[in-house]
Amino acid sequence: MINPFTDEYFMKKALHEAEMAFEKGEIPVGALIVIDNKVIARGHNLTEMLVDVTAHAEMQAITAAANFLGGKYLIGCTLYVTLEPCQMCAGALYWSQISKIVYGASDENRGFVKMGTQLHPKTTVVKGVLANEASELMKRFFIERRK
Amino acid sequence: MINPFTDEYFMKKALHEAEMAFEKGEIPVGALIVIDNKVIARGHNLTEMLVDVTAHAEMQAITAAANFLGGKYLIGCTLYVTLEPCQMCAGALYWSQISKIVYGASDENRGFVKMGTQLHPKTTVVKGVLANEASELMKRFFIERRK
Protein backbone atom coordinates (compact mmCIF):
# COMPACT_ATOMS: atom_id res chain seq x y z
CA MET A 1 0.00 0.00 0.00
CA ILE A 2 1.24 3.47 -0.88
CA ASN A 3 0.99 5.96 1.95
CA PRO A 4 -0.58 9.10 0.47
CA PHE A 5 0.26 11.22 3.53
CA THR A 6 3.76 12.33 2.57
CA ASP A 7 5.37 15.66 3.42
CA GLU A 8 4.70 16.70 -0.20
CA TYR A 9 1.02 15.86 0.20
CA PHE A 10 0.62 18.27 3.11
CA MET A 11 2.97 20.88 1.66
CA LYS A 12 0.70 21.10 -1.40
CA LYS A 13 -2.11 22.10 0.94
CA ALA A 14 0.15 24.70 2.56
CA LEU A 15 0.91 26.04 -0.93
CA HIS A 16 -2.81 26.34 -1.49
CA GLU A 17 -2.98 28.51 1.63
CA ALA A 18 -0.10 30.59 0.26
CA GLU A 19 -2.07 31.12 -2.97
CA MET A 20 -4.99 32.40 -0.92
CA ALA A 21 -2.66 34.98 0.64
CA PHE A 22 -1.42 35.94 -2.86
CA GLU A 23 -4.98 36.55 -4.06
CA LYS A 24 -5.48 38.96 -1.14
CA GLY A 25 -2.33 40.91 -1.97
CA GLU A 26 -0.44 39.44 0.98
CA ILE A 27 3.12 38.07 0.81
CA PRO A 28 2.23 34.47 -0.14
CA VAL A 29 3.07 32.22 2.79
CA GLY A 30 0.81 29.38 3.90
CA ALA A 31 0.90 27.01 6.86
CA LEU A 32 -0.80 23.87 8.05
CA ILE A 33 -0.65 21.89 11.30
CA VAL A 34 -1.19 18.13 11.15
CA ILE A 35 -1.54 15.45 13.82
CA ASP A 36 -1.91 11.74 12.98
CA ASN A 37 -2.24 12.68 9.29
CA LYS A 38 -5.19 14.94 10.08
CA VAL A 39 -5.13 18.67 9.32
CA ILE A 40 -6.13 20.52 12.49
CA ALA A 41 -5.16 24.09 11.57
CA ARG A 42 -4.56 26.25 8.51
CA GLY A 43 -3.33 29.79 8.11
CA HIS A 44 -1.97 32.23 5.58
CA ASN A 45 -0.18 35.50 5.95
CA LEU A 46 -2.60 38.34 6.78
CA THR A 47 -0.27 41.09 7.97
CA GLU A 48 -1.68 43.66 5.54
CA MET A 49 -5.35 42.83 5.96
CA LEU A 50 -5.14 42.67 9.75
CA VAL A 51 -2.61 45.55 9.92
CA ASP A 52 -0.58 43.44 12.31
CA VAL A 53 3.04 42.28 12.01
CA THR A 54 2.22 39.26 14.18
CA ALA A 55 -0.33 37.83 11.69
CA HIS A 56 2.09 35.44 10.00
CA ALA A 57 0.68 32.14 8.67
CA GLU A 58 2.48 30.09 11.33
CA MET A 59 1.26 32.23 14.24
CA GLN A 60 -2.34 31.83 13.18
CA ALA A 61 -1.89 28.09 12.69
CA ILE A 62 -0.28 27.67 16.13
CA THR A 63 -3.18 29.49 17.81
CA ALA A 64 -5.77 27.52 15.82
CA ALA A 65 -4.11 24.16 16.53
CA ALA A 66 -3.97 24.83 20.28
CA ASN A 67 -7.60 25.83 20.10
CA PHE A 68 -8.48 22.57 18.36
CA LEU A 69 -6.47 20.44 20.79
CA GLY A 70 -7.60 22.28 23.91
CA GLY A 71 -3.98 22.50 25.03
CA LYS A 72 -1.20 24.90 24.24
CA TYR A 73 1.54 22.33 23.56
CA LEU A 74 1.73 20.91 20.05
CA ILE A 75 3.52 17.68 20.93
CA GLY A 76 2.91 15.10 18.21
CA CYS A 77 2.09 17.81 15.67
CA THR A 78 3.85 18.76 12.44
CA LEU A 79 3.88 22.28 10.98
CA TYR A 80 4.04 22.58 7.20
CA VAL A 81 4.96 26.07 6.03
CA THR A 82 5.90 27.22 2.55
CA LEU A 83 8.66 29.61 3.72
CA GLU A 84 11.29 29.17 6.45
CA PRO A 85 9.91 30.64 9.69
CA CYS A 86 11.23 33.98 10.98
CA GLN A 87 12.53 34.71 14.51
CA MET A 88 9.04 35.45 15.82
CA CYS A 89 7.45 32.30 14.43
CA ALA A 90 10.39 30.10 15.43
CA GLY A 91 10.17 31.61 18.91
CA ALA A 92 6.46 30.73 19.08
CA LEU A 93 7.24 27.22 17.82
CA TYR A 94 9.86 26.93 20.58
CA TRP A 95 7.20 27.60 23.21
CA SER A 96 4.74 25.21 21.54
CA GLN A 97 7.22 22.29 21.76
CA ILE A 98 5.98 21.18 18.32
CA SER A 99 7.43 17.80 17.27
CA LYS A 100 8.28 18.53 13.62
CA ILE A 101 8.63 21.48 11.29
CA VAL A 102 8.64 21.02 7.51
CA TYR A 103 9.34 24.08 5.40
CA GLY A 104 9.62 24.81 1.69
CA ALA A 105 11.78 27.70 0.54
CA SER A 106 14.63 29.00 2.67
CA ASP A 107 14.69 32.65 3.75
CA GLU A 108 18.37 33.51 3.59
CA ASN A 109 17.83 37.01 5.03
CA ARG A 110 15.29 36.72 7.78
CA GLY A 111 14.83 33.01 8.35
CA PHE A 112 15.41 31.50 11.80
CA VAL A 113 18.49 29.53 10.66
CA LYS A 114 20.45 32.65 9.65
CA MET A 115 19.06 34.54 12.66
CA GLY A 116 20.10 31.78 15.04
CA THR A 117 16.71 31.41 16.69
CA GLN A 118 16.49 28.34 18.95
CA LEU A 119 13.80 25.73 18.50
CA HIS A 120 12.75 23.31 21.24
CA PRO A 121 15.34 20.53 21.61
CA LYS A 122 12.68 17.91 20.79
CA THR A 123 11.67 19.56 17.49
CA THR A 124 12.94 18.00 14.26
CA VAL A 125 13.21 20.02 11.04
CA VAL A 126 12.87 19.04 7.37
CA LYS A 127 13.58 21.72 4.78
CA GLY A 128 13.26 22.15 1.02
CA VAL A 129 9.94 20.34 0.49
CA LEU A 130 8.37 21.82 -2.68
CA ALA A 131 10.82 24.70 -2.25
CA ASN A 132 10.74 25.64 -5.95
CA GLU A 133 6.95 25.98 -5.97
CA ALA A 134 7.05 28.16 -2.86
CA SER A 135 9.82 30.44 -4.11
CA GLU A 136 8.24 30.74 -7.58
CA LEU A 137 5.06 31.98 -5.91
CA MET A 138 7.05 34.51 -3.88
CA LYS A 139 8.93 35.74 -6.96
CA ARG A 140 5.69 36.09 -8.93
CA PHE A 141 4.21 38.11 -6.07
CA PHE A 142 7.08 40.58 -5.89
CA ILE A 143 7.18 40.99 -9.69
CA GLU A 144 3.45 41.76 -9.75
CA ARG A 145 3.74 44.16 -6.82
CA ARG A 146 6.42 46.16 -8.59
CA LYS A 147 4.16 46.73 -11.60
CA MET B 1 8.84 71.89 35.67
CA ILE B 2 9.28 68.24 36.57
CA ASN B 3 8.40 65.86 33.74
CA PRO B 4 6.15 63.20 35.26
CA PHE B 5 6.43 60.94 32.19
CA THR B 6 9.57 59.04 33.10
CA ASP B 7 10.34 55.42 32.23
CA GLU B 8 9.50 54.57 35.87
CA TYR B 9 6.11 56.24 35.51
CA PHE B 10 5.11 54.00 32.60
CA MET B 11 6.79 50.90 34.03
CA LYS B 12 4.59 51.23 37.12
CA LYS B 13 1.60 50.92 34.84
CA ALA B 14 3.15 47.87 33.17
CA LEU B 15 3.63 46.37 36.66
CA HIS B 16 -0.04 46.97 37.29
CA GLU B 17 -0.76 44.90 34.17
CA ALA B 18 1.56 42.19 35.49
CA GLU B 19 -0.42 42.14 38.75
CA MET B 20 -3.59 41.59 36.75
CA ALA B 21 -1.96 38.52 35.16
CA PHE B 22 -0.92 37.30 38.64
CA GLU B 23 -4.50 37.53 39.89
CA LYS B 24 -5.60 35.32 36.99
CA GLY B 25 -2.98 32.67 37.78
CA GLU B 26 -0.85 33.68 34.80
CA ILE B 27 2.93 34.17 34.90
CA PRO B 28 2.93 37.88 35.88
CA VAL B 29 4.23 39.87 32.92
CA GLY B 30 2.68 43.17 31.85
CA ALA B 31 3.26 45.45 28.89
CA LEU B 32 2.33 48.91 27.71
CA ILE B 33 2.90 50.80 24.47
CA VAL B 34 3.25 54.57 24.60
CA ILE B 35 3.49 57.27 21.94
CA ASP B 36 4.01 60.95 22.77
CA ASN B 37 3.54 60.12 26.46
CA LYS B 38 0.14 58.61 25.73
CA VAL B 39 -0.66 54.98 26.49
CA ILE B 40 -2.13 53.42 23.34
CA ALA B 41 -2.01 49.72 24.26
CA ARG B 42 -1.88 47.48 27.31
CA GLY B 43 -1.52 43.75 27.71
CA HIS B 44 -0.72 41.06 30.21
CA ASN B 45 0.24 37.45 29.82
CA LEU B 46 -2.79 35.26 29.04
CA THR B 47 -1.19 32.04 27.82
CA GLU B 48 -3.13 29.87 30.28
CA MET B 49 -6.51 31.54 29.92
CA LEU B 50 -6.32 31.64 26.11
CA VAL B 51 -4.55 28.24 25.91
CA ASP B 52 -2.10 29.83 23.49
CA VAL B 53 1.68 30.11 23.74
CA THR B 54 1.56 33.24 21.57
CA ALA B 55 -0.54 35.23 24.09
CA HIS B 56 2.40 36.99 25.75
CA ALA B 57 1.82 40.51 27.08
CA GLU B 58 4.02 42.09 24.39
CA MET B 59 2.29 40.30 21.50
CA GLN B 60 -1.09 41.53 22.62
CA ALA B 61 0.22 45.07 23.10
CA ILE B 62 1.83 45.10 19.62
CA THR B 63 -1.44 44.02 17.99
CA ALA B 64 -3.46 46.53 20.02
CA ALA B 65 -1.08 49.42 19.27
CA ALA B 66 -1.16 48.74 15.52
CA ASN B 67 -4.92 48.61 15.76
CA PHE B 68 -4.98 51.98 17.51
CA LEU B 69 -2.57 53.58 15.05
CA GLY B 70 -4.17 52.05 11.94
CA GLY B 71 -0.70 51.01 10.77
CA LYS B 72 1.45 48.01 11.52
CA TYR B 73 4.73 49.87 12.17
CA LEU B 74 5.30 51.21 15.67
CA ILE B 75 7.79 53.93 14.75
CA GLY B 76 7.84 56.58 17.47
CA CYS B 77 6.45 54.13 20.05
CA THR B 78 7.99 52.79 23.25
CA LEU B 79 7.22 49.37 24.70
CA TYR B 80 7.36 49.02 28.48
CA VAL B 81 7.46 45.42 29.65
CA THR B 82 8.15 44.07 33.12
CA LEU B 83 10.26 41.10 31.92
CA GLU B 84 12.86 40.92 29.15
CA PRO B 85 11.14 39.82 25.93
CA CYS B 86 11.61 36.25 24.61
CA GLN B 87 12.65 35.25 21.07
CA MET B 88 9.06 35.35 19.80
CA CYS B 89 8.28 38.78 21.22
CA ALA B 90 11.64 40.25 20.18
CA GLY B 91 11.00 38.83 16.69
CA ALA B 92 7.61 40.55 16.58
CA LEU B 93 9.21 43.78 17.83
CA TYR B 94 11.78 43.46 15.03
CA TRP B 95 9.01 43.43 12.43
CA SER B 96 7.20 46.32 14.14
CA GLN B 97 10.29 48.59 13.89
CA ILE B 98 9.40 49.95 17.34
CA SER B 99 11.61 52.87 18.36
CA LYS B 100 12.32 51.98 22.00
CA ILE B 101 12.02 49.02 24.33
CA VAL B 102 12.19 49.46 28.11
CA TYR B 103 12.18 46.31 30.21
CA GLY B 104 12.35 45.54 33.91
CA ALA B 105 13.79 42.22 35.04
CA SER B 106 16.22 40.29 32.87
CA ASP B 107 15.40 36.74 31.81
CA GLU B 108 18.77 35.02 31.89
CA ASN B 109 17.41 31.76 30.49
CA ARG B 110 14.95 32.64 27.76
CA GLY B 111 15.38 36.37 27.20
CA PHE B 112 16.24 37.69 23.74
CA VAL B 113 19.71 38.88 24.84
CA LYS B 114 20.90 35.39 25.82
CA MET B 115 19.07 33.88 22.84
CA GLY B 116 20.69 36.33 20.43
CA THR B 117 17.45 37.49 18.83
CA GLN B 118 17.93 40.52 16.58
CA LEU B 119 15.93 43.69 17.05
CA HIS B 120 15.43 46.29 14.33
CA PRO B 121 18.60 48.41 13.91
CA LYS B 122 16.64 51.57 14.77
CA THR B 123 15.33 50.19 18.09
CA THR B 124 16.97 51.40 21.30
CA VAL B 125 16.82 49.37 24.52
CA VAL B 126 16.76 50.39 28.18
CA LYS B 127 16.86 47.62 30.78
CA GLY B 128 16.51 47.25 34.53
CA VAL B 129 13.73 49.80 35.10
CA LEU B 130 11.90 48.73 38.29
CA ALA B 131 13.59 45.36 37.84
CA ASN B 132 13.35 44.46 41.52
CA GLU B 133 9.60 45.02 41.62
CA ALA B 134 9.13 42.88 38.50
CA SER B 135 11.30 40.01 39.72
CA GLU B 136 9.74 40.09 43.21
CA LEU B 137 6.33 39.63 41.60
CA MET B 138 7.66 36.69 39.54
CA LYS B 139 9.24 35.06 42.59
CA ARG B 140 6.04 35.47 44.61
CA PHE B 141 4.08 33.87 41.77
CA PHE B 142 6.28 30.78 41.56
CA ILE B 143 6.34 30.35 45.36
CA GLU B 144 2.55 30.47 45.47
CA ARG B 145 2.22 28.08 42.54
CA ARG B 146 4.39 25.50 44.28
CA LYS B 147 2.10 25.46 47.33
Tens-digit pLDDT profile for residues A73-118? 999 999 999 999 999 999 999 999 999 999 999 999 999 999 999 9
CA count, 13 A, side-chain hemisphere, B80: 28
Enter the pTM of the model: 0.97
Q: Is the ipTM of this complex over 0.90?
A: yes
Interchain pair B62, A72: CB under 8 A: no
CB atoms within 10 A of CB A40: 18
Among A33, A43, A11, A27, which Cα is nearest to A132's? A11
Which carries the bigger pLDDT value, residue A145 or residue B121?
Answer: B121
Please give, rounded to a whole number of angstroms, the shortest distance from the CA of A23 to a CA of chain B.
20
Please give, rounded to a whole number of angstroms, the shortest distance from the CA of B54 to a CA of chain A.
6
Among B116, B123, B117, which Cα is nearest to B96's? B123
Annotated active-site residue in B58, B108, B133, B144: B58
Q: Give me the count of residues in chain B.
A: 147
Per-residue model confidence as pLDDT tens digits over A14-61: 999 999 999 999 999 999 999 999 999 999 999 999 999 999 999 999
Chain A residue numbers touching B62 (CB-CB < 8 A):
52-54
Give the nearest chain A residue to B70 (CA atoms): A51
pLDDT score recorded for residue B111: 98
Provide the number of CB pairs (under 8 Å) joining chain A to chain B. 92
Helix then strand then coil, in percent of chain B rounded to 5, is: 40, 20, 40
pLDDT score recorded for residue A77: 98
Distance CA B24, CA B20 (A): 7
pLDDT score recorded for residue B2: 82
